[in-house]
Amino acid sequence: MNSKEDQYARQAEEWTDRAYADAAAYLSHRAALVVTLGPLLEAGDEVLDLACGDGGLGQLLLDRGLRYRGVDSTPEMVAEGSRRLGARAAIELGNLNDYVPPAPVAATTVFRALYYARDRQSFFRHVARFTEKKLVFDLNPRQYRLDEVLADLRVAGLGRVALRPFFLPQTVALPGPVVAVARALERSGPPARLALRFRFTYLVAASR
Ligand SMILES: C[S@@+](CC[C@H](N)C(=O)[O-])C[C@H]1O[C@@H](n2cnc3c(N)ncnc32)[C@H](O)[C@@H]1O
């Protein structure tokens, strides 16, 4: 086990509550964008969440009437996810580079884990084979060149892209009114793009 895997194994218990200062606000905003950014998801659609951690996003998607399948390569995360979601979801051990769901899914998501793709273009191609509506992931534009990621998506046949800045901080809990302002600023165009030069991420929804 390398040190990163070991770290995830040790952090699996209560991962979501420790990784997010305000998990409810952060993950419900993420869940809303999974549903609405790009092609709309409908009740009954299945979401495959690759590198799902303890499945913290799962409850928010189940609450919206979606089905949830989580996959993670850390056994302790899978155990936590299974404990958290019980029979309402399928949580499996697997590697995002080669996992294939038993049936095609409406959407595949990858949050805070794109860097585990061995080869990004091959990963997008792989996901496109079993994803019917869209692939949704977060992207730090200071870590990855947006134009290169968009080119890889096009090659994989996922060239229709909706981008949305995501301005809720992970490690700071904001008061409700500030959350509302942050969410409004996500749609502000140039000021939002300026902020992304220094902080925050995009949410990307890629479809055919
Ligand atoms: C930073 S956490 C993100 C968890 C969750 N997606 C979230 O946003 O809170 C990264 C997760 O990726 C998992 N992971 C790392 N490499 C992986 C791989 N090759 N396939 C599947 N999961 C992987 C880790 O076990 C860990 O749970």
77 lines ligand 1 (CB under 6 A): yes
Query: Tens place of pLDDT for every residue, the chain, 208 residues?
Result: 677 888 999 999 999 999 999 999 999 999 999 999 999 999 999 999 999 999 999 999 999 999 999 999 999 999 999 999 999 999 999 999 999 999 999 999 999 999 999 999 999 999 999 999 999 999 999 999 999 999 999 999 999 999 999 999 999 998 888 888 899 999 999 999 999 999 999 999 999 9
Residue of 82, 84, 87 whose CA lies nearest to 60: 84
Using CB atoms within 10 Å of the CB of residue 40, give its burial: 0 to 12 exposed, 13 to 18 middle, 19+ buried: exposed
Look at ligand 1, atom 12, and give the residue with the nearest C-alpha. Answer: 51
72 lines ligand 1 (CB under 6 A): yes
Residue 115 main-chain phi, psi, to 5 deg: -70, -10
pLDDT for 175: 87
Ligand 1: centre distance to CA 22 (Å): 19
Strands 201-207 and 131-139: antiparallel
Segments in 99-206 forming alpha helices (H): 120-130, 146-155, 176-185, 190-196
pLDDT for 71: 98
| Dihedral Cα 26, 32, 36, 41, nearest 10 deg | 130
pLDDT for 1: 60
- Distance between CA atoms of 182 and 166, rounded to whole angstroms? 9
80 lines ligand 1 (CB under 6 A): no
- Distance between CA atoms of 196 and 200, rounded to whole angstroms? 6
27 lines ligand 1 (CB under 6 A): no
11, 13, 112: which to mutate for ligand 1, most atoms within 8 A of CB?
A: 112
- Distance between CA atoms of 96 and 137, rounded to whole angstroms? 13
Beta bridge partners of 91: 70
For 174-181, the CB contacts below 8 A with 24+ separation are 174/22, 174/25, 179/25, 179/29
Could you tell me the residue ranges of all domains in the chain? Answer: 3-164+202-207
CA 31 to chain centre: 9
pLDDT for 4: 85
Ligand 1: centre distance to CA 75 (Å): 11
Look at ligand 1, atom 20, and give the residue with the nearest C-alpha. Answer: 95
8 lines ligand 1 (CB under 6 A): yes
- CATH topology assigned to domain 3-164+202-207: Rossmann fold (3.40.50)
Look at ligand 1, atom 8, and give the residue with the nearest C-alpha. Answer: 111
Tokens 């793009």 locate to 193
Amino acid making up residue 203:
L
